[in-house]
Amino acid sequence: MARAEIIDGKAIAKELRRAVREEVYQLHDQHHLTPGLAVVLVGDDPASAIYVRNKNEQCEEAGIASFPHRLPADVREEELLTLIHGLNRDYRVNGILVQLPLPDHISTEKVLETIDPVKDVDGFHILNAGRLAVGAAGAMVPCTPVGCLIMIKRRTPDLAGYKALVLGRSNIVGKPMAQLLLAENCTVTIAHSKTDDLAGECRQADILVAAVGRPRFVRGTWIKPGAIVIDVGINRVPTEGGKNRLVGDVAFDEALDVAGAISPVPGGVGPMTVACLLRSTLIAFCRQHGFDDPKV
Ligand code: NAP
Ligand code: LUD
């Protein structure tokens, strides 16, 4: 088998950010309005701090105003909810994102349900999850699965009839990913920690999306020759030199010899997630002002 094509998430994300920026500038010329995104970070998890900084910086580069909010790890739930209520009312803020995970004493469910669904650029509010599940118009869709789908469709624009396997069933990645693939007319299987014969299930898949959070979990022998493999996993593993290295949920070197196409980690789904956040902010902005959905 020839070596797999590498799906360059970093490059596709760059194109997407440029397209968002053009649309933002056009809308600004026409209406003299600027989209805004509020990103809330609770606590000082170093990885979350990096992701949030990237989100704010890339917003500004795309002409979107960023409103960063940082709260201490021991903040009362009440105070976070009050902040969200304020952002819901703030007309400059079109998108609200509360970076996860939150400290244990705060109810993630309560926080996500407090965000106004039209400003829910993460698509984690139950109303948006429901809209996605029933195929209703106006759903805000989670950024990571949207990014994965864009990458898959770059390789294969028409997915009808393809067998897709989503490994992982979280509300933020696995379930919405499965919904999107189903909407593209794939035959979708969702696998998880209780799945029997995981390797056998994976081997059937023309499209394999891995979102388990376990380093190099999916082996080369699990992959159907020629399959499209999307690696969502972000795992930090120690190197011999005593530093940390980022690896995905797929044994990339093994997969390269079997898959038809594969997204790398880093440089795959991660940058796409952030680019899709800018896109979602633009969509939310357009909907709030009664403009047509953007063409990006
Ligand atoms: P999560 O909430 O921890 O869910 C993990 C899923 O994997 C669960 O459904 C779990 O099954 C399943 N799983 C765990 N161990 C398994 C095993 N041994 N066999 C089969 N299934 C197993 O994780 P998540 O939030 O979806 O994230 C998954 C990974 O993606 C993480 O590495 C995360 O850092 C990464 N991520 C990346 C991005 C990005 O933008 N690149 C965005 C979000 C997440 P059960 O349900 O049965 O427990
Ligand atoms: N919470 C996310 N928590 C974690 N990787 C991200 C992420 C970019 N509310 C909310 O942004 O969508 C979210 N909404 N998530 N994640 C994970 C998840 C959230 C993860 C990685 C990256 C966003 C990213 O840019 C780079 C890459 O894969 O190339 C590497 C960056 C590095 O750590 O070196």
User: Are 43 and 103 in the same domain?
Assistant: yes
Indicate whether 57 and 161 sit together in one domain. Answer: no
Same domain, yes or no: 147 and 116? no
Q: How far does the centroid of ligand 2 lie from the alpha carbon of residue 277, in Å?
A: 11
Task: Give me the number of domains the chain comprises.
Answer: 2
User: What pLDDT is stored for residue 70 in this prediction?
Assistant: 98
210 found inside a domain? yes
100 in ligand 2 pocket by Cβ < 6 Å? Answer: yes
Q: Where is the domain boundary, 122, 154, 169?
A: 122
Residue 23 lies in a domain: no
- Is 213 touching ligand 2 by the criterion CB < 6 Å? no
184-218: per-residue pLDDT in tens? 999 999 999 999 999 999 999 999 999 999 999 99
Q: What is the pTM of this model?
A: 0.98
Do residues 94 and 167 both lie within one domain? no
Is 1 a residue whose pLDDT tops 70?
Answer: no
Q: Residue 234 CA: which ligand is closest?
A: 1
**Judgement on whether residues 79 and 166 belong to the same structural domain of the protein:** no
The conformational region for residue 25 under phi > 0 = left, psi -120 to 50 = alpha, else beta, is alpha
Is residue 110 domain-shared with residue 147, that is, in the same domain? no
The pLDDT score that the predictor gives to residue 186 is: 98
Residue 194 Cβ inside 6 Å of ligand 1? The answer reads: yes
Mean model confidence pLDDT for the chain: 98
CATH of the domain at 153: 3.40.50.720
Q: Across residues 81-110, what is the average pLDDT?
A: 98
Are residue 112 and residue 185 in the same domain, yes or no? no
Probe target for ligand 1 pocket from 151, 172, 173, with the most ligand atoms within 8 Å of CB: 173
Residue 286 has pLDDT above 70, yes or no: yes
- CA separation for the pair 10, 12 (Å, rounded): 6
Q: Which amino acid is at 228?
A: I
According to the 3-state scheme, what is the secondary structure of 141-153?
Answer: CCHHHHHHHHHHH
Residue 161 in any domain: the answer is yes
- For atom 13 of ligand 2, the residue with the nearest CA is 99
Residues 184, 250: one domain? yes
Domain assignment of residue 55, yes or no: yes
Q: Tell me, using a 6 A CB cutoff, whether residue 169 lines ligand 1.
A: yes
From its phi and psi, is residue 269 left (phi > 0), alpha (psi between -120 and 50) or beta? Answer: alpha
Going by alpha carbons, the residue nearest to atom 20 of ligand 2 is 270
Residue 108 above 70 pLDDT? yes
- Which residue segment(s) compose the domain that 92 sits in? 32-122
Q: Is residue 17 part of a domain?
A: no
Domain shared by 96 and 153, yes or no? no
Backbone angles phi, psi at 145, to 5 degrees: -60, -35
Residue 286 belongs to some domain of the structure: no
| Contact between 117 and 125 (Cβ < 8 Å) | yes
**What is the Cα–Cα distance from 37 to 86, expressed in whole angstroms?**
13
- For residue 272, pLDDT beyond 80: yes
Q: Is residue 60 part of a domain?
A: yes
Mark whether 161 and 265 lie in a shared domain.
yes
Q: What is the pLDDT of residues 127-164, one digit of tens each?
A: 999 999 999 999 999 999 999 999 999 999 999 999 99
User: Among residues 122, 151, 179, which one ends one of the domains?
Assistant: 122
pLDDT at 2: 81
pLDDT tops 70 at residue 35? yes
Domain presence at residue 294: no
Angle between helices 174-183 and 126-134 (to 10 degrees): 30
From residue 275, give the alpha-carbon distance in Å to each of 7, 12, 134, 193, 233.
Answer: 15, 9, 26, 30, 17
The separation between CA 204 and the C-alpha centre of its own chain, rounded to angstroms, equals 25
Q: Tell whether 88 and 156 lie within a shared domain.
A: no
User: Which CATH number belongs to the domain containing residue 45 in this structure?
Assistant: 3.40.50.10860
Q: 141-172: string of b/e by CB count within 10 Å (b at 16+)?
A: bbbbbbbbbbbbeebeeebeebbbbbbbbbeb
Q: Is the pLDDT of residue 37 over 90?
A: yes
Ligand 2 proximity of 267 Cβ (cutoff 6 Å) = yes
- Whole-angstrom distance, CA of residue 151 vs CA of residue 154: 5
Question: Do 117 and 187 fall into the same domain?
Answer: no
